[in-house]
Amino acid sequence: MHSGDTKTVRGGSTRRKLLQTGLSVAALGSPLVWSRSARAEAGELRIAKQPGLSYLPAVIAEKLGLVEKHAKAAGIDNLRVSWTRLTNGGASNDALLSGGVDMVISGGPNMLIMWGKTSGRVKGVVATGALPMKLVTNNPNVKALGDFGPNDRIAVPTIRVGTQPVVLGIAVEKQFGAGALEKFNAMTVGMGHPDAMIALQNKNNGVTAHFSQPPYQDQELAMPDVHEVLDSVAVMGGPLTNGCVYSTTTFHDANPKIIAAFVGAIKEAIALIETDKAAAAGIYLEINKESISADALAALIARPGMVFSAAPQNLLPAAQFFSRAGYIKQKPTSWKEFFFEEVHDLPGS
Q: Of 202, 236, 270, which closes a domain?
A: 236
- The reply to whether 245 and 338 lie within a common domain is yes
- The reply to whether 116 and 32 lie within a common domain is yes
Q: Of 184, 213, 236, which closes a domain?
A: 236
Q: What rounded mean pLDDT belongs to the chain?
A: 88
Closest CA to 117 of 26, 31, 15, 239: 26
Tens of pLDDT, residue by residue over 26-39, are 334 344 544 443 44
- In this prediction, residue 7 has a pLDDT band, given cuts at 50, 70 and 90, of very low
- In this prediction, residue 51 has a pLDDT band, given cuts at 50, 70 and 90, of confident
Local structure of 67: helix, strand or coil: helix
* Cβ–Cβ under 8 Å, residues 191 and 157: yes
- The reply to whether 82 and 216 lie within a common domain is no
Domain membership of residue 294 (yes or no) is yes
Domain membership of residue 4 (yes or no) is no
Can you tell me the mean pLDDT for 266-289?
Answer: 95
Can you tell me the mean pLDDT for 103-130?
Answer: 95
Answer with the residue of higher pLDDT: 257 or 213.
257
Q: Of 236, 259, 282, which closes a domain?
A: 236
Can you tell me the mean pLDDT for 124-133?
Answer: 97
Residue 88: predicted pLDDT = 66
**Residue 12: pLDDT over 90:** no
Of 46-55, 148-157, 162-171, 268-277, where does the model show the most confidence? Answer: 268-277
Q: Give the C-alpha separation, 177 to 172, whole Å.
A: 7
User: What is the Cα gyration radius of the chain?
Assistant: 19
Q: Strand runs (DSSP E) across the chain, as ranges?
A: 44-49, 80-85, 103-106, 122-129, 134-137, 154-156, 188-190, 209-211, 227-231, 243-248
Residue-wise DSSP of 166-194 = HHHHHHHHHHH-GGGHHHHHTTEEE--HH
* Residue 63 belongs to domain with CATH number: 3.40.190.10
**Residue 97: pLDDT over 80:** yes
Local structure of 125: helix, strand or coil: strand
Tens of pLDDT, residue by residue over 316-342, are 999 999 999 999 999 999 999 999 999
Q: Which amino acid is at 165?
A: P
**Residue 107: pLDDT over 80:** yes
Q: What are phi and psi of 66, to 5 degrees?
A: -70, -30
Domain count, the chain: 2
**Residue 16: pLDDT over 70:** no
- The reply to whether 204 and 253 lie within a common domain is no
Domain membership of residue 47 (yes or no) is yes
* Cβ–Cβ under 8 Å, residues 265 and 71: no
Domain membership of residue 337 (yes or no) is yes
Can you tell me the mean pLDDT for 50-69?
Answer: 95
Domain membership of residue 315 (yes or no) is yes
Residue 21: predicted pLDDT = 39
- In this prediction, residue 40 has a pLDDT band, given cuts at 50, 70 and 90, of low
Domain membership of residue 348 (yes or no) is no
pTM equals 0.83
**Residue 153: pLDDT over 50:** yes
Q: Which helix (H) or strand (E) holds 48?
A: strand 44-49
* Cβ–Cβ under 8 Å, residues 173 and 181: yes
Kindly state the percentage of the chain with pLDDT values over 70: 88
Q: Which helix (H) or strand (E) holds 112?
A: helix 108-117
259 is in which domain, residue-wise? 13-131+240-343
Residue 37: predicted pLDDT = 39
